[in-house]
Structure 1
């Protein structure tokens, strides 16, 4: 075990420690410029997906909005509550600015990876779609790169399918025990049963559950933050001033100054919005849309919601409170709880526990689908997916009732680092194809087509599934 811990520790150092974060930042800037600042050009278009009338006419398909909410359910989690608090504590208020910066470039990265997942998606027998980086490697780069796709799928299962659900179960059970005094076994049982009900219903039930849970949890949390901001409106200008002053070194809140702000902001921002990590494209590929770029725009919006809106809400609640102490040794969730209580009273601790529960539960079902999608790529045996569903339920229960057991999932972060590097390598190699698809979308808009339609026959050199684009779809 010691050897394995050292091995995965080395992998983590070689990815997250040395190369990955600068690579993600530089690559995000490159994609922003290479796509003509697409996240700004199509920002207004992102909000179309929220329209209730904007649904697919195919009852077997997943709509763009459902895919959006599933991905938001995965991106929005403990990082938005605890991670932001840790970033501010260790990096100072300036960390928030650098979280915004990585989110802005990450919007372009997410658009690119999710568009390519749509381009190379495949229609299943039941009418749904499967796709993601593993499949875009096979169909976009060729079977000679199958080893790279297999490596990606294995890392996806290890990190998102096995490791992270245990941590989410632990987070929920700990919060329920602290706020409501509930036994970890009770919380674990309820969480496991709920997880089983959702995952055994397949992607349709996952999408329907997310369509309900995500708006409730996001809007409820944002509403609470707005109340805090209104009550402390006089302190808001000062909070923003400290964010910008600390971000550029004009004001040093913690040891390390501007360097600490940049490091913490970039790291926590990437962990929160997952842009470039290769996870969201698996869900993006399930959507039934008119054009791949449409879902890319939608997933770019997901990054905006996660970081620019929800993470900012957490940051402002903390910065306007009297409990924030730069550099203090405090648990992230506790700091956010204390900040809420400082403005609205102790009852908010229970509200935050419920928010953590919803955030974590949505992340668990999202993580399940990522694991299932990877397994379906590695094996066509249906029993493998059935076994994974049972294993996931056991992992969630174990993580909830035995907090120390989560230590055995030490491989999760290193595997996510490898996952991201494989995904970024594939994106670089496939970027010329993305450029062609984006030009097709832009040219249709310029010609007066309000809702561009993807015609696979215009790309005869690509290995596309023409049945995935055989009828009009929603945008």
Structure 2
């Protein structure tokens, strides 16, 4: 029975991630890029100032500071998608997939500017005083009640897409590989992870934001130091790896069957999982920021794909490519990344570093993703009932620990694809509203 479900989800994932959805994500992103006339990119320095707290206002509506909102969103994105997702992209699509991840990230920055600005413009507040935000509220408040079925569609898909299937699966696999445990221990690992995660998850959005703002800077710095060490040791091979990425991006020779189309789809899919631009998760987090200026949070949200995909994913890819393990290994996901690290770093250090980073990355992702599911359930029922999703989420951690990696990837990919449809459509329909806000805001800050 499970094999039938597994096969069906794999077929659905393959079908829905074909050209129609890629046209929606990439085509929608290109529209945002051109429609904005690249203006938000000119204010990247201003976005950094906002992030540093220059414009923070504790009296403004919302629950998280700009930094906490971005940290929580990055905590969900700079995670297993960067460590193991890049490895999956290399195995499935070859080095050229990284180029298409870059293209997707630049386009995704424009998408995030629009979708996260809208999240502030059309957020709501519950009777309990908590901020309600995300594509479903953008659709209902921005497009009108007649569009509610599209909002419901997003929320239902979000209940599945925010499950920790991929993250927990790869964290469990890391512990089994490094500690040389048997596969039979995965269930017990899942139980322990569920217990640990519950302490933060059950504390709500403010505790998640606080923990994420502490974890994210630490994990990014640690990861940079480790990967830069590997690249310095392999510095003579780095230029060759860049050339390989560019040359393979348009030939697709290393992809399955040498198909360029498959290569592009692989890069875009893995970038979507990595930075989530256009998927709709980030607007739920950025929509809780304390601000009266929607454009400010849109600018902050743009920083996410730059850090996540252009920087962190690139470093991971270069580390794996420069070691050469991807050419002659049957490993996939985290196992391939681990093999790459161990092939260069002194004995045992690779294991220690990878397991430390994976633990921090995975837990930060687990904490943030739980909030997304709470928001979706709260929309489908009542906001006060959203918290009950946490119990489903915690139970799913145990289940995710024992499923196969292919099933985990296909399940999340399928749900992400469904979530992208209402997110991008609502963003396109309301893009003029964002441009009007942006024009006013940019004129105001340049006149000072």
TM-score between the two structures when normalised by the length of structure 2? 0.90
User: By how many angstroms is 1:398 displaced?
Assistant: 2.7
Q: Which residue number corresponds to residue 219 of structure 2? A: 217
Structure 1 stretch displaced more, 186-195 or 99-108: 186-195
Q: Which residue number corresponds to residue 339 of structure 2? A: 338
- Aligned pair in 2 of structure 1 residues 190, 337: CA closer, same or farther (>3 Å)? same
User: By how many angstroms is 1:18 displaced?
Assistant: 3.6
User: By how many angstroms is 1:72 displaced?
Assistant: 0.6
Q: Is the 8 A contact 1:399 1:406 kept in 2?
A: no
Q: Which residue number corresponds to residue 76 of structure 2? A: 74
Gaps of 5+ in 1: 449-475
| Distance in 2 (alpha carbons) for counterparts of 1:443 and 1:75 | 32
| Distance in 1 (alpha carbons) for counterparts of 2:9 and 2:94 | 30
Verify: 1:367 aligned to 2:369, yes or no.
yes
User: By how many angstroms is 1:181 displaced?
Assistant: 4.5
Q: Which residue number corresponds to residue 287 of structure 1? A: 289
Q: Is the 8 A contact 2:170 2:334 kept in 1?
A: no
- Aligned pair in 2 of structure 1 residues 96, 176: CA closer, same or farther (>3 Å)? same
| Distance in 1 (alpha carbons) for counterparts of 2:387 and 2:258 | 49
Q: Is the 8 A contact 2:115 2:298 kept in 1?
A: yes
TM-score between the two structures when normalised by the length of structure 1? 0.85
User: By how many angstroms is 1:167 displaced?
Assistant: 3.4
Verify: 1:267 aligned to 2:269, yes or no.
yes
| Distance in 1 (alpha carbons) for counterparts of 2:13 and 2:73 | 25
| Distance in 1 (alpha carbons) for counterparts of 2:15 and 2:176 | 37
Q: Which structure 2 residues correspond to residues 10-409 of structure 1 after superposition, within 5 A?
A: 11-51=12-52, 55-58=56-59, 61-124=63-126, 127-160=129-162, 164-181=163-180, 183-249=185-251, 252-254=253-255, 255-256=257-258, 258-325=260-327, 329-347=330-348, 348-380=350-382, 382=384, 384-400=385-401, 402-403=402-403
Q: CA RMSD in A?
A: 2.7
| Distance in 1 (alpha carbons) for counterparts of 2:366 and 2:405 | 17
- Aligned pair in 2 of structure 1 residues 194, 38: CA closer, same or farther (>3 Å)? farther
User: By how many angstroms is 1:172 displaced?
Assistant: 1.8
Q: Is the 8 A contact 1:168 1:396 kept in 2?
A: no
User: By how many angstroms is 1:281 displaced?
Assistant: 0.5
User: By how many angstroms is 1:142 displaced?
Assistant: 0.7
| Distance in 2 (alpha carbons) for counterparts of 1:236 and 1:405 | 30
Q: Is the 8 A contact 1:398 1:405 kept in 2?
A: no
| Distance in 2 (alpha carbons) for counterparts of 1:195 and 1:306 | 23
- Aligned pair in 2 of structure 1 residues 197, 159: CA closer, same or farther (>3 Å)? same
User: By how many angstroms is 1:253 displaced?
Assistant: 4.4
| Distance in 2 (alpha carbons) for counterparts of 1:243 and 1:107 | 22
Q: Is the 8 A contact 1:121 1:131 kept in 2?
A: yes
Q: Which residue number corresponds to residue 419 of structure 2? A: 419
User: By how many angstroms is 1:171 displaced?
Assistant: 2.1
How many correspondences in the alignment? 441
- Aligned pair in 2 of structure 1 residues 62, 408: CA closer, same or farther (>3 Å)? closer
Gaps of 5+ in 2: none
- Aligned pair in 2 of structure 1 residues 142, 253: CA closer, same or farther (>3 Å)? closer
Q: Is the 8 A contact 1:61 1:127 kept in 2?
A: no
**1:241-285, Cα deviation, whole Å (9 max, x unpaired):** 222222234x94455265454333222212211110111110110
Q: Which residue number corresponds to residue 443 of structure 1? A: 443
Q: Which residue number corresponds to residue 457 of structure 1? A: none
| Distance in 2 (alpha carbons) for counterparts of 1:171 and 1:312 | 20
- Aligned pair in 2 of structure 1 residues 8, 245: CA closer, same or farther (>3 Å)? closer
Other structure's SS at 1:403 match: coil
